[in-house]
């Protein structure tokens, strides 16, 4: 071969788009399949779990049907079961927790993301709040029994004494109560709300703040009219995530809610939650119907959290759309 020929051949190899590259292909294809399998089996796990719960709940579903949701009667001896007090306890204590934790969590998020505190105060503060999330909930519950309820009791008595005409405070408090459960849940979910909201606030571009301030707005006007609306989707997301946590929280609630199955409008009265009754009774449940009733409760909790999560996705979408 002559030199120009060789040069031409070399050039053609250099420019060839069809070069085989088996290393890349095998690796890439293999990885694509591997991650697919992982993703689908995770989704499969959820379905499997739901199926098992549904199967175990079957006897109770067959026996009570939808009456189970409204019946207030829970009597293991007579094998008659109703879910209403537990659903009520779970929903009310979680709502109470949100009412307390959202404003405080947002305050923490704003204080630790704005610059009106020096950094050496701000960042330890944020870390400390974050650390609450690291406390095992059974320890929070113990603290609830030995510290929080004694501290809360004078307040509950005061509420009963002076505001008993409001139905919410119309019964005499004995210590453990729906209110105590709400407060303990608020403490448990506080870090979730404040940490995520803080990250969302910190992610708001400085340009927005500059634009607002340069039109003469004050710091708080900027926070309320620009920063918070711009981060609404993230804050809603954080709140719903916290709500999910509150609905599912077991130990801390069980230890302070009073575990008394009944529906009472008064927040000072002991109550019961779905997770608490599961924790308290499951180990001793022998009758198939009893186990079925507990599983039925678990299924209901599952559906409630599912709905909450769906609402979360929906609201985050709505808020995101509003901005864009």
Smallest separation, CB 201 to another protein (Å): 24
Shortest Å, Cβ 34 to another protein: 20
**Residue 21 or 78 with smaller CB distance to another protein:** 21
Q: Which of 1, 2, 4, 20 binds another protein (CB under 8 A)?
A: 20
3 binds another protein (CB under 8 A): no
Nearer to another protein, 10 or 224 (CB): 10
Cα–Cα separations (whole angstroms), residue 4 to 8, 14, 172 = 6, 15, 103
The distance between the two most distant Cα atoms of the chain, rounded to a whole number of Å, is: 109
Q: Please answer whether residues 257 and 182 qualify as being in contact, where contact means their C-beta atoms are separated by less than 8 angstroms.
A: no
Smallest distance from the beta carbon of 8 to another protein, in angstroms? 7
Q: Which is nearer to another protein, 11 or 39 (CB)?
A: 11
| 21 contacts another protein (rule: CB under 8 A) | yes
Minimum CB distance to another protein, residue 264 (Å):
57
Minimum distance of another protein from residue 6's CB (angstroms):
13
Whichever of 207 and 284 has its CB closer to another protein, that residue is: 207
From residue 240, give the alpha-carbon distance in Å to each of 54, 175, 235, 277: 25, 29, 9, 24
Count of residues near another protein by CB under 8 A: 12
Name the segment binding another protein (CB under 8 A); options: 4-12, 189-197, 251-259, 273-281. Answer: 4-12
Of 1, 3, 4, 24, the one binding another protein (CB under 8 A) is 24
Closest to another protein by CB, 17 or 286: 17
Closest of 92, 186, 102 to residue 144, by C-alpha: 186
Residue 19 touches another protein, criterion: CB under 8 A: yes
Calculate ∠ Cα 63-85-274, nearest 5°: 80
12 binds another protein (CB under 8 A): yes
Please report whether residue 23 would count as binding another protein according to CB under 8 A.
no
Q: What is the dihedral of CA 236, 238, 244, 249, to 10 degrees?
A: -140
Number of residues assigned to the chain? 324
* Cβ neighbours, 10 Å, residue 113: 21
* 80 bridge partner residues: 75
Please state, in angstroms and as integers, the Cα–Cα distance from residue 248 to each residue in 170, 244, 274, 293, following that order: 28, 6, 9, 18
In a 13 Å sphere around the CA of 5, the CA atoms on its Cβ side amount to 2
Looking up tokens 């040069």 gives 7
H or E, element range at 263 = none
For the chain, the straight-line distance linking the first and the last C-alpha, in angstroms and rounded, comes to: 65
Question: With respect to another protein, which residue has the nearer C-beta, 14 or 78?
Answer: 14
Binding range to another protein, per CB under 8 A, among 5-13, 159-167, 190-198, 230-238: 5-13
Task: Using the minimum distance from each CB to another protein, give the nearer residue, 1 or 134.
Answer: 1
Is 15 among the residues that bind another protein (CB under 8 A)? yes
182 contacts 252 by C-beta, under 8 angstroms: no
The yes or no reply on residue 214 touching another protein (CB under 8 A) is no
**Closest separation between CB of residue 11 and another protein, Å?**
5
Contact between 5 and another protein by CB under 8 A: the answer reads: no
CB of 322 to another protein, least distance (A): 24
Please give the Cα distance from 296 to 289 (Å, whole number): 10
Contact between 14 and another protein per CB under 8 A: yes
Other Cβ atoms less than 10 A from the Cβ of 322: the count is 10
Q: Where do contacts with another protein occur on this chain (CB under 8 A)?
A: 8, 11-12, 14-21, 24
């Amino acid at each position: 071969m002559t030199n120009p020929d060789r040069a031409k051949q070399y050039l053609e190899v250099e420019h060839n788009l069809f070069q085989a590259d088996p290393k890349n292909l095998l690796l890439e294809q293999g990885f694509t399949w591997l991650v697919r399998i992982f993703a689908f089996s995770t989704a499969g796990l959820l379905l499997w779990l739901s199926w098992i719960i549904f199967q175990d709940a079957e006897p109770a579903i067959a026996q009570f049907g939808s009456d189970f949701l409204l019946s207030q009667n829970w009597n293991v001896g007579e094998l008659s079961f109703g879910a209403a007090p537990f659903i009520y306890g779970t929903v009310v204590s979680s709502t109470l927790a949100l009412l307390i934790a959202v404003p405080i969590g947002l305050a923490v998020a704003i204080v630790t993301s704005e610059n009106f505190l020096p950094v050496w105060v701000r960042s330890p503060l944020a870390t400390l709040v974050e650390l609450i999330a690291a406390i095992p909930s059974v320890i929070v519950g113990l603290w609830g029994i030995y510290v929080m309820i004694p501290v809360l009791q004078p307040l509950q008595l005061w509420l009963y004494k002076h505001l008993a005409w409001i139905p919410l405070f119309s019964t005499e408090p004995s210590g453990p109560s729906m209110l105590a459960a709400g407060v303990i849940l608020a403490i448990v979910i506080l870090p979730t709300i404040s940490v995520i909201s803080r990250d969302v606030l910190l992610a708001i571009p400085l340009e927005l703040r500059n634009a607002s301030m340069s039109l003469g707005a004050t710091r708080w006007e900027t926070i309320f009219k620009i920063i918070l609306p711009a981060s609404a989707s993230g804050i809603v997301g954080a709140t719903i995530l916290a709500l999910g946590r509150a609905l599912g929280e077991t130990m801390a609630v069980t230890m302070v809610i009073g575990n008394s199955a009944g529906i009472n409008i008064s927040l000072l009265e002991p109550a019961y939650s779905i997770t608490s009754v599961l924790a308290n009774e499951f180990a001793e449940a022998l009758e198939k119907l009893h186990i079925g009733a507990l599983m039925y409760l678990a299924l209901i909790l599952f559906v409630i959290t599912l709905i909450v999560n769906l609402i979360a996705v929906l609201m985050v979408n709505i808020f995101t759309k509003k901005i864009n």
